[in-house]
Structure 1
């Protein structure tokens, strides 16, 4: 069954995990109320209530603050008094130092879709371990092809 669920977490500058059903799609974020003196970040997501729960990592950054080197995906922006805050999802794997900037989006796309970079042979910097039983779309194949032009390998099982 599909439903909209609410997830709450105390506002903090540190990264935090939220457990939600796999494949949940965040549809809105707001700051509501407080918990022990901290603003309460509320995330609403469209979920498949039958999906297994997974931990997803988020972090709040103020405008002008440095973002981490790990792949990040913008989730939402909101105003709180004179401040503007931005919620990002952290995907947990550093971008390779030698990866061309124009390929960062391809790398992030594969991570978001559950692919894992693995070192399999000397011919490639890394190959892609595919998630089990997930269909691979044309955008995924195109991202892999573009990364292969930069020395990264194919999908492996």
Structure 2
């Protein structure tokens, strides 16, 4: 069992308020892809994954029109911030704004944009150990805000504070 899994299990069991955890269909797609292209596919691991998804994640977080709107907003902000003036053409992708290696240099991937858009559209915390620095820079000032946490680093976890913020914001407190 990986160290990250152990940390996450310990953290989840220690929380007094159990947050609702959802997994995006985007994440499920990434994991499914990883299983299929593994250098040494492990049918038992693949079967265990499928069983886990069916048993524990019967309702993954789907994409919706609200998510599509948030995605368009984030992608526009990335384009406006990082596209050189002469390259601001509507068909440019954020990954192509500096040069062909932009995805690597800016650490931007389309799936990351979709995950961030889901978090914004549903006013949720995105839990990831990806940095997403450029996306975070352009998301400043969004309402609802883009909130990202890395649960593999316990000093970055503030779920109770976030839940209190959500309760106040929604009028429950």
Same fold per superposition (TM over 0.5): no
Higher relative contact order (Cα pairs below 8 Å, separated by 6+ residues): 2
- Larger proportion of helix: 2
- Structure 1-normalised TM-score? 0.25
> When the two structures are superposed, what TM-score results if normalisation uses the length of structure 2?
0.24
